[in-house]
Structure 1
């Protein structure tokens, strides 16, 4: 056990660069780390209490550690086996006694925390304060819950001494070893199961390793190196049902197999070509690569409209950005949700600002950020972004 300890941990969100919906039918998708991050501060205390504060969703809870020991019998047979069961969920729900007005997002976030805390810490439950602040909007398909679970897993494993604090001996190291990251990812995946039931594992893998991952037929493969690409990320704030959109594509495929099948195969080829370009770019950024990436974005966006997952809000983003020479596509399920716009290194900052303001005037949220971001990281307080230091009161 590590006493008198304070850790600052972060993990990136994720976007699907190419391969949406086609991946459901056995094709390749490329998922990339999004440099909008979730930050967690954990600080040990000595009064026998544990608190968690999630200001983004308006949730704060505090318990006596002795109360949480009452949960151990329900976890006894499965302790440290990382397999959440219906028994675990029922036990945790009964323990928390959520008020009727409690939202499902808040409830699941607390359940995931308690599950990971009890499972990882076992009988040696430390007294601690946990505060989580995220730059990621919830429910936008950007991996916010996975980034949360990755931060929880990394911080709890470190505080409990199961993995080493990378900053303990070398203040220049910002992450854990590959073996330790594997363990972080395994536990984060269990937290994701609490929140999403049957997740693919892609979001927590991106949150752990960052960069870019290839996902096909339930096999996740990490790309060795990828360039950091500047983007605009736009959230239409239009709600959509991933389940309904996936079902709609399936219906089209069954109705028009000779039409939709080749479109899905073309999306697969786009993912492959993009992967090749990204690999080439790691040997030296070349302006010649950007026109190809832009063409791939345009072609894929048209394909996604063909299979029925577009939306007028996404069309509007494409129109606004195209009028300034920029290229955009939806990311994720479509039907609303978010879009990414590629920014070349030589893009005029004034154009970027103009586009952002036009998109905001349409009622959208817009961030200038990057993809190919670092995975789970540990920070010195002085290295945290200024806005995050402010949120944590440091």
Structure 2
């Protein structure tokens, strides 16, 4: 191993506008969340590879001698990502005794780690290490938790293998990589997402890598250089849903009522573009109440359009009603049918309003976080910054979840 210890983090993501319409070639705006996944990689001399996932109460450990049998007789160390090695994936599935139809969260995380680890270190001696991952992101809520994991794995393993340099500068507690190295991180993270999801769009891992705001249209992703940080309430209704079924339902509506639904898609596209323009203005000139008036109106209109598409849910209606009663504006984010919603917070919003809103939402059985969007992408952290800040932040949000192996 070129690097004996590496600590990295990557953000989750939310869709600001354009979900579902983006499937049909329209513009979507994806933003990073100031809720992150953290990964600590440390070399060891145990002859084992260990993975700790305290959020999902998982600890797995393998002997290096067993893992070496997964590698083919000849294996060149990969620096350029092409397509997943199906043979290696099959051996990994057999190694951890899972089938494609039996992949829980733990299994998907494990397979993604093993694939990147064996691919990047497979040409030499496999190193002994411990990897611990902890996250502020709920799983299965459409907030890019798997992509944040994939980005962290990619960055840490590429750094440890020497494929990319350390991002930390002298006396710096936090650092990021060059554009070239970020592209390599993103390409390996996309491999992890492909392993987990089969056919990902690439939006989630791109947001996790670059952060900020991303414009996505017809398969083309463009990071926006100017985007303000916005305060939001992020609410998880905890209602499960099938993204695949919801996407299919929207397509059925379009096929059944094309003269009605195509104008709806065009209107969603216009909302995304109008929001992009408003956010650009907020980054280049003095922010006024009128800017927030526009953002709130766009949120309300987009939520109604999503209901027309058939991806609303009574729990989301309750969320919108409770926040509007406090003068706040909310829309679903992601696939809909339950899942999560985002509520915009104006700079002048009184603290008591936020606290009372959170109490209302929690009283309805929802999980709720005050956070922001538009923050940085993948970063490397020094041991000092982790011990002085990140552990405390995690423990505050997750007091009942111990971080295994930390000292």
Fold similarity call, TM over 0.5: yes
**Aligned partner of 2:394 among 374, 388, 392:** 388
Partner of residue 44, structure 1: 43
Cα distance change, pair 235–76 in 1 and its aligned pair in 2 (3 A): same
Residue 56 of structure 1: how far off its partner (Å):
1.3
Cα distance change, pair 193–243 in 1 and its aligned pair in 2 (3 A): same
Contact 1:75 / 1:88 at 8 angstroms: preserved in 2? Answer: no
Mapped to 2, the partners of 1:309 and 1:367 lie a distance apart of 23
Contact 1:211 / 1:372 at 8 angstroms: preserved in 2? Answer: yes
Contact 1:150 / 1:188 at 8 angstroms: preserved in 2? Answer: yes
Residue 63 of structure 1: how far off its partner (Å):
1.4
Mapped to 2, the partners of 1:11 and 1:137 lie a distance apart of 14
Mapped to 1, the partners of 2:191 and 2:269 lie a distance apart of 29
Give per-residue Cα distances to partners, 1:145-200, cap 9 Å, x unaligned: 00000000000011111111112545155211111110000000001111000101
For structure 1, list consecutive stretches of 5 or more residues without a partner in the other structure. none
Cα distance change, pair 193–208 in 1 and its aligned pair in 2 (3 A): same
Where in structure 1 do 4 or more consecutive aligned residues deviate above 4 Å?
77-81
Mapped to 1, the partners of 2:297 and 2:44 lie a distance apart of 54
Mapped to 2, the partners of 1:56 and 1:110 lie a distance apart of 14
Determine helix, strand or coil for the equivalent of 1:106: helix
Mapped to 1, the partners of 2:120 and 2:352 lie a distance apart of 49
Partner of residue 23, structure 1: 22
Is 1:252 aligned with 2:241? no
For structure 2, list consecutive stretches of 5 or more residues without a partner in the other structure. 396-401
Count of equivalent residues? 393
CA RMSD of aligned residues (A): 2.0
TM-score, with structure 1 as normaliser: 0.95
Give per-residue Cα distances to partners, 1:220-272, cap 9 Å, x unaligned: 11111211100000000001111111111111111111111101100000000
Contact 2:333 / 2:341 at 8 angstroms: preserved in 1? Answer: yes
Mapped to 2, the partners of 1:231 and 1:381 lie a distance apart of 30
Cα distance change, pair 173–39 in 1 and its aligned pair in 2 (3 A): closer
The within-5 A match list for 1:1-394 is 1-2=1-2, 5-73=4-72, 76=75, 79-82=78-81, 83-98=83-98, 104-124=104-124, 125-167=126-168, 169=170, 171=172, 173-287=174-288, 288-383=290-385, 384-385=389-390, 386-388=392-394, 391=403, 393-394=406-407
Mapped to 2, the partners of 1:223 and 1:312 lie a distance apart of 34
Mapped to 2, the partners of 1:388 and 1:320 lie a distance apart of 28
Mapped to 1, the partners of 2:34 and 2:223 lie a distance apart of 17
Mapped to 1, the partners of 2:261 and 2:75 lie a distance apart of 50
Determine helix, strand or coil for the equivalent of 2:41: strand
